[in-house]
Amino acid sequence: MRVSPGVSPADMQAALAEFQKIVGAEWVFTDEEDVDLYRDSYSIFWDQPEERIVAAAVCPDSVDQVQAAVKVANRYGIPIYPVSTGKNLGYGGSAPAYAGSVVLDLKRMNRILRVDEDRGFVLVEPGVSYFDLYQHLRETGSRLMVDVPDPGWGSLVGNSLDHGAGYLQPTYRNHFESHCGMEVVLADGTLLRTGMGAMPGADSWQDFKFGVGPWIDGIFSQSNFGVVTKMGFWLMPEPEAHLEANAFAYRFEDLSPMVNALNYLENTGVANGMSFVTSPLYGGSSFVPRDQRVVDHLAGAGHDLSQEELNAFADANKVPYWSMTLKFYGPEDAVRANWNFCKKEFAKRVPGTTFDEGKLWRFPLTPEQHDEVHKPSFGIPSLEMFSRGARSPNNPEGDWGHIWFAPIIPRTGEAIIEANKVISEITARFDRIDSLRRVKFSTPTTYWARSFILLFGFSIKRDPEYDRKTLECLRTLIAECAKHGWGEYRASPVVHDNVAAAYSFNNNALTRFHERLKDAVDPNGIISAGRYGIWPKHLREKKG
C-alpha cells in the first residue's frame, strides 16, 4: 500500500476500506502493477524521483459513488486526482500534478445519457470516449457528427475541461465552448448543476448555457474546483458537402496580407472549417506537403539549409513560401461560392496568389472515402496521429512520447515570423526540434477561431539526461516567450507552475484569485492539488 503525502498509514488504510465499500473491492486499486497503469507513459521524469506516481485508484460507477468517495477523501484529507479516460498524452496523461494522489478514475461512468437528433446535442458521462459516441451515433442511424480531436480514444468531458479542440466549424471545434451544461460534485460531496440544469426538469439543459446569474462553468476547466460528472455537448449535423482548397503565395512578405485575408474570411464566416497555415518551403502540413523540389534539393545537399538559402531556392524556382488550406462546410453550391469569394479576396490582397481547384465531398461519405480523407475533418475518430511519433525514416529511433509546448501568439503574420525567430534560437541552443513535424519553422494551428497556437511536441526518450535537457529547454521557452507576451494555452503538469507564473500581471493577481476560489470551494484542498499552478492552502504554505 502506497500512502498519500500528509496522510497517516492508518488513515490511508481506513480511507481505502471506505472506498472499497463504496465502489466495490474490485474497483479500488492498490497493487503496484495495477496502480502503475496510471503512470504517464510520456512522462519526462520516467523512473526518476520526480515522476508523479499515483498512490491508488478508485473507480466509481455512478454520481452517488463519486459523491461518497469525495466525502471520504475530504474527511481523511486524501489528495485525489479525477480523470475521465486519462488519455491526455503529451499533457500529463492520467498521472497527477501532485505525486502520491489517489486517481479518481471515471472511465466506468461511460453512459451516453441523451441524444437529441433534432436539436443536435448529447449529454454524456466522463467515461464516454469519442469512439464510443461515434459508434453509438452511427449504429443508431444518427446524422450528427462528433467533433473529434486527433486521437479519438479520449473523453469528451476530459478534453473539453482541458481546453481541447477538434476540426469542424468553429462553434464545435472549441470543445469547451461547444459544451452546454455541467453537473459537478464539489469537494464536500455537494451535487451541482449549471445553466438550465439548475432548474429541476428543464428540458433545455443542453439548449442554453447560462441559466441565470453568474456563469460558473469556466472555473471548472483547467482547474481543480470540483469533479465534473456530466456534460452536454452541441453536435454539428452532417452538412451537404465539405470542400477543402488551397491558396499559395510566393514571397516571404506575403505572409502578413495572407493572414489578414484569412482573418477576414474566417471572421465573416466565409471559411467555416479549420484553416491550415503552411509553408511548402520551410515545412509542410497534413494538407500541403513540403514542395517536392525542396525535398529533392535537400536530399541532394545532404543537410538542412538556412532560411536564407531556402528563400533563395524558392525565389529561383518559384516555390511558394506560404499556403493556406481553407475548409468549408455547407451546401455544395454555397461552399463553391464561398471558395470563389476567397480566391478573389486573396488575389486582391496578395497579388500573384495561385490556387488549386479544391476537393469536394458529399455527406455521408462512402466507406471507401473514409480512407481517403483527413478523418477528423469529417468527425471520424482514429488513432492515426500516433504514427507521427513512431519509428520512421525521419525519426529512426522512434520516441517514447512527446511533451507539448503550445504558446498563443497574436493572429498576425509578423507574430509568426517573430515567434519563430525567438523559439528557434532557443530550441537550437538546446538542440531540440518539434518531433512530430521535424521542421525548423513552425506554422500556427487555428484550432480556435481568432487564435494562433504554435504547437511543438518535444521527444521523450526515457533517457534522463536527454529528457532533463528537454525540460530545461521547455522551461526556458516558457520564460523567454512570456517576455514577448506569448503564453501557453495548455501544458503538462510538470510545468504548470512555470506556465501559471508567466501569467504574472499585477504580481500574479490572477493566480492569487484562483487560490482564493480554491480555498472557498475546496477548503481541505483535496482535489487535483497543483493543477495549472493552483495549490491548496496547506501546500502553498509548505511551498512558500
Our finding on whether 355 is near a copy of itself (CB under 8 A) is no
Our finding on whether 534 is near a copy of itself (CB under 8 A) is yes
- Enumerate residues 265-294 that contact a copy of itself by CB under 8 A: 267-270, 272
From 360, 385, 426, 517, residue interacting with a copy of itself (rule: CB under 8 A):
517
Our finding on whether 147 is near a copy of itself (CB under 8 A) is no
E strand or H helix that includes residue 75: helix 63-76
Nearer to a copy of itself, 149 or 284 (CB): 149
| Burial classification of residue 468, based on how many CB atoms lie within 10 Å of its CB (0-12 exposed, 13-18 middle, 19 or more buried) | middle
CA distance 189 to 30: 23
Our finding on whether 333 is near a copy of itself (CB under 8 A) is yes
On whether the CB atoms of residues 248 and 177 are closer than 8 A, the answer is: no
On whether the CB atoms of residues 70 and 187 are closer than 8 A, the answer is: yes
- Enumerate residues 196-225 that contact a copy of itself by CB under 8 A: 196-204, 207-208, 210-223, 225
| Least distance in angstroms from the C-beta of 461 to a copy of itself | 26
Amino acid at 542: K
Other C-beta atoms closer than 10 Å to the C-beta of 117 total 14
Nearer to a copy of itself, 254 or 291 (CB): 254
- Quickly list H helices, 398-463: 413-429
On whether the CB atoms of residues 174 and 193 are closer than 8 A, the answer is: no
Our finding on whether 252 is near a copy of itself (CB under 8 A) is no
Other C-beta atoms closer than 10 Å to the C-beta of 539 total 17
Our finding on whether 369 is near a copy of itself (CB under 8 A) is no
From 435, 511, 524, 528, residue interacting with a copy of itself (rule: CB under 8 A):
511
| Least distance in angstroms from the C-beta of 531 to a copy of itself | 8
Nearer to a copy of itself, 436 or 534 (CB): 534
Nearest to 445 by CA among 223, 90, 164: 164
Our finding on whether 70 is near a copy of itself (CB under 8 A) is no
Our finding on whether 543 is near a copy of itself (CB under 8 A) is no
Beta strands in 396-541 (DSSP E): 401-405, 407-409, 452-453, 456-460, 487-488
What is the distance between the terminal CA atoms of the chain, rounded to a whole angstrom? 30
Q: How big is the site for a copy of itself, counted in residues (CB under 8 A)? A: 111
Our finding on whether 232 is near a copy of itself (CB under 8 A) is no
Our finding on whether 372 is near a copy of itself (CB under 8 A) is no
Name the segment binding a copy of itself (CB under 8 A); options: 41-49, 424-432, 437-445, 528-536.
528-536
Query: What does the block give as the cell for 102?
Result: 489517489
Nearer to a copy of itself, 110 or 338 (CB): 338
Nearer to a copy of itself, 290 or 490 (CB): 490
Our finding on whether 361 is near a copy of itself (CB under 8 A) is no
Our finding on whether 1 is near a copy of itself (CB under 8 A) is no
CA distance 95 to 53: 7
Nearer to a copy of itself, 427 or 511 (CB): 511
Query: What does the block give as the cell for 431?
Result: 538542440
CA distance 15 to 7: 10
Nearest to 151 by CA among 229, 238, 93, 220: 93
CA distance 313 to 293: 9
Nearest to 279 by CA among 294, 266, 264, 268: 294
DSSP assignment of 145-160: -----SBTTSBHHHHH
- Enumerate residues 389-448 that contact a copy of itself by CB under 8 A: 408-412, 415, 448
| Least distance in angstroms from the C-beta of 164 to a copy of itself | 11
From 45, 282, 532, 535, residue interacting with a copy of itself (rule: CB under 8 A):
532
- Enumerate residues 116-135 that contact a copy of itself by CB under 8 A: 118-121
Our finding on whether 113 is near a copy of itself (CB under 8 A) is no
Nearer to a copy of itself, 20 or 412 (CB): 412
From 36, 317, 485, 542, residue interacting with a copy of itself (rule: CB under 8 A):
485
CA distance 166 to 147: 6
Q: Three-state DSSP class for 173?
A: helix
On whether the CB atoms of residues 165 and 156 are closer than 8 A, the answer is: no
From 5, 369, 513, 542, residue interacting with a copy of itself (rule: CB under 8 A):
513
Q: How far is CA 217 from CA 118, 175, 211, 339, 342, in A?
A: 25, 13, 11, 37, 36
Our finding on whether 312 is near a copy of itself (CB under 8 A) is no
- Enumerate residues 166-195 that contact a copy of itself by CB under 8 A: 169-171, 176-177, 180, 186, 190-194
From 318, 391, 450, 542, residue interacting with a copy of itself (rule: CB under 8 A):
450
| Least distance in angstroms from the C-beta of 314 to a copy of itself | 25
